[in-house]
Structures are given as C-alpha cells and as structure tokens.
Amino acid sequence: MVTTSEGVLNITVTPKLVTRALIFMDTFIKLAKQRGHNISFKAHYGTIISVYGIDSIIYLREKNKRIITKNNGSWKETELVPIGELVFKRDDYPRREWSDSKKVKLEAKIPDIMQYFEEQAMQERANDIERELRREEQQRQQKIEEEIKQIRKNEIEKLNQLLEDSTPYRKAVQLRTFITAKRENALRNNNLDASLEDWIEWAYAKADWLDPVTSRKDDILGDYDDYKQ
C-alpha cells in the first residue's frame, strides 16, 4: 500500500490503483468546486471538505480483507490484504462510506456522495440553528428566572425593612401610651408639677425620635438611624 504524504489528500491504495484513485479525487474535487464547496487540509485531521460552512473529514483508500496466514489450532495469524476495491469515507460523525460494488464502480457514485454531503450539511446547519435557538430560549428563560429571583429578593428586603421599621414604631406607641397614662395619673392625683411636665415633654420628644413615621432629630442623639448604626 502507498499513502500520500502529510498535508495533501488522504489516499491509501496499492500502486495499481494509484491512477484510478487520483482520477476519482480529481473528479470529486472539481465537482465540489463547481458546486461552490472547498477541499482543504487541516493539521491533525487531514483532508477536509467544506460544504455550506460544515467541515467533514474525508479519505480514499483501498478496501482490505483479513485472511488467515497460519492456523495452529489454538491460535491463528491473520493479515489484511488489499482486494482492489476503492472506498471513499467520511471519517467523522456521522461516519459514512461508499465503495465499489459488483455492478457500480465508486466513480459512478460521486453525484450521490456529493448530494449526501450537501444534504447532511444543510441538516447540520439546521441543527445548529435549532441548537442556537434553544440556547437563546434557555438564556431568555434564565434571565426571566433571575429577574423573578431579584424581584423576590427586593420584595423580601423591603418586607424585612418594614418589619424592622415597625419595631421602633411599636416601641414609640408604647412610650406614648405610657407617657399619657403617667400624665393622666398625675392629673388625677393633682401632682402634675413643672418637673413632671418637663419629663413628659422630653419623653414625647424621645418617642418622636424613635418613631420612624415622625423621624424627629434629637439634639443629643441625632437621627435614630445613626443611633442604630
């Protein structure tokens, strides 16, 4: 078997099939170019046919048959022997090959081979588009879910802030109730003096300072929010 050197078309055949193999590839390449496709070489891959932007690895070889060279009962020696038939193969996923048959030579199958690559490329492009659409839809759904999570997070933060604000408010209401009760008790017992009135005024001011509704600033303590910190 002879094999082309690296960087050119992937062909492996016996010397008697070299001319036929080269004529096959020449015809295939010319048809590919006529159809607007491209044949190239890619390192670590080999011969590439590019159809509608889809790359496929291809190579041409001679078919082999494994024969037994020695049979010693418990073990056998075998080797691959070329049988004079050409095989053209797509060597990536999905793998596909075409070969000589009893009635049709591989050369006659070139139009069918080209049609396969074109149809496969269109299908793979359609699959790529479908995958891209699915990816975009997943991203859109993910964005919606993230926005919903953010809305819920913001709502929880607002609720927590509301609950936090309601605590000093309840305390302020309790203070005012206590202050009012203390003043009314003093009035009933006729002992509302100037000292108690000053205390009541001071206590109401502190309740207003504590109350987030009034948010009164205190001359000594400042704002209640500063006090919390």
* 150 in a structural domain: no
Choosing from 69, 100, 131, the residue where a domain stops is: 100
End-to-end CA distance of the chain: 86
Contact 67, 59 (CB under 8 A): no
Range of the domain at 84: 2-100
Does 10 share its domain with 93?
Answer: yes
* 86 in a structural domain: yes
Please give the mean pLDDT across all residues of the chain.
91
* Confidence band of 44 (pLDDT split at 50, 70, 90): confident
Does 176 share its domain with 95?
Answer: no
Examine the pLDDT at 229 and tell me if it is beyond 60.
Answer: no
Sign for the pseudo-dihedral over CA of 11, 14, 15, 19: negative
pLDDT tens digits for 13-42?
Answer: 999 999 999 999 999 999 999 999 999 999
* 155 in a structural domain: no
126's tokens: 């359609």
pLDDT tens digits for 194-214?
Answer: 999 999 999 999 999 988 888
